[in-house]
Amino acid sequence: MDLSEYKGVFIYAQETDGKISPISLELLGKAKELAANLEEKKVTAVLLGYHVSGLTDELAEYGADRVIVVDDPALEEYTSEPYAHALASVIDTYKPEILLIGATAIGRDLGPRVSARVHTGLTADCTGLEIGDYPLTAVPGHEADQKHGQLLMTRPAFGGNTIATIACPNFRPQMATVRPGVMKKAEPKPGAKAEVVNYNPGFEKNNCWVEILKVVKEVSKAADIQDAKILVSGGRGVGSKENFSILQDLADALHGTVACSRAAVDAGWMPKELQVGQTGKTVRPNVYFAIGISGAIQHVAGMEESGLIIAINNDPNAPIFDTADYGIVGDLNQVVPLLTKKIKAALA
């Protein structure tokens, strides 16, 4: 593999139901930042789907200099084989140095398949990406040397107890799937245009081809906690499903949304889609209330980027107070209703 042939930062632009997924716009923001530190500054979005050509301008507004479009009936609904074939073929033809994919259900299926086909490595579920030097300490005779301009991919490891930084120095592209909600979207530039390249990888049905007979969508009643500006999050300390109503009252008073820790999900009190943390969602609200939540590293990983963190806990030594901007030591059953009453009175 001649690594010097591989240039530019690419992202996979995920389209679902005629819309670009928010994670793809987040990836464009990060890709722009990474490309600024490389020789080839162009950012390319790879858009796969059917009747998707109308989405290229949105990708341009969020930072794509070029969009490679594969528009084909074979890509109408996501299935592994045609999507993996299309993306692997784009890589073989356009040779990106870096390829970023959202760690969505689709991205987690697509990324590893594609990396295996093009024979490179992939770091899954990254929470940090930067261009830097990779030390060759393990290579005999080169212990003091470094490879420059490598993609350093950071992700939690060993159940979130440590953070690993991984590089892929000998193969290209350097591939990563990235957790939704972690990277920031760039400010959109209305009216920006990208170079659009239509690409046809040629589709041939093989024995891995799956036919979709029917798509049944889950109808969710819960608000998306990743969109909320104010989150009122509860943990095991809330004590029961019913008692989450006091958090709901506080959320209602602030026009906020209720979220929770994994302990509350495991206890069957709250649905998984409201879980914040390493195996839940990464959130960045303006205000995050952590109520009856101890502050385990796996929870904090999903909320530490919040604008203002307010913790309520009856244990003055709870680790959550190390992350919080404001802490209230007390019984949540007393503190939360009192807070709600005061806020309602102040806003009345």
Say which DSSP state 41 is in: -
Q: Which two tokens stand for residue 327?
A: 């802490």
In the complex, least distance from residue 107 CB atom to ligand FAD, rounded to whole angstroms: 18
Q: Which of 334, 280, 287 is nearest to 311 (CA)?
A: 287
Q: Are 275 and 281 in contact (CB under 8 A)?
A: yes
Residues engaged in binding ligand FAD (CB under 6 A):
159-160, 235-237, 261-264, 275-280, 292-294, 296, 298-299, 302, 312-315, 318, 331-333
Of the pair 132, 160, the CB lying nearest ligand FAD is at 160
Q: Which of 142, 143, 131, 140 is nearest to 168 (CA)?
A: 131
Q: Which of 257, 254, 293, 253 is nearest to 277 (CA)?
A: 293
Which SS3 state, helix, strand or coil, does residue 46 take? strand
Of the pair 80, 248, the CB lying nearest ligand FAD is at 248
Of the pair 75, 247, the CB lying nearest ligand FAD is at 247
In the complex, least distance from residue 232 CB atom to ligand FAD, rounded to whole angstroms: 14
In the complex, least distance from residue 331 CB atom to ligand FAD, rounded to whole angstroms: 4
Of the pair 208, 222, the CB lying nearest ligand FAD is at 222
In the complex, least distance from residue 266 CB atom to ligand FAD, rounded to whole angstroms: 8
Say which DSSP state 275 is in: B
Of the pair 29, 280, the CB lying nearest ligand FAD is at 280
* Percent composition of the chain: helix, strand, coil (DSSP 3-state, to 5): 30, 25, 45
CA distance 139 to 68: 38
The enclosing H or E element of 24 equals helix 22-36
Of the pair 128, 160, the CB lying nearest ligand FAD is at 160
In the complex, least distance from residue 238 CB atom to ligand FAD, rounded to whole angstroms: 8
In the complex, least distance from residue 105 CB atom to ligand FAD, rounded to whole angstroms: 16
Of the pair 3, 310, the CB lying nearest ligand FAD is at 310
CA distance 321 to 298: 15
In the complex, least distance from residue 227 CB atom to ligand FAD, rounded to whole angstroms: 18
In SS3 terms, 286-348 reads as: CEEEEECCCCCHHHHCCCCCCCEEEEEECCCCCCHHHHCCEEEECCHHHHHHHHHHHHHHHHC
In the complex, least distance from residue 178 CB atom to ligand FAD, rounded to whole angstroms: 17
CA dihedral 297, 302, 307, 308 (to 10 degrees): -50
DSSP track, 84-151: HHHHHHHHHHH--SEEEEE-SHHHHHHHHHHHHHTT--EEEEESEEEEEEEE-TTSTT-TT-EEEEEE
Of the pair 74, 259, the CB lying nearest ligand FAD is at 259
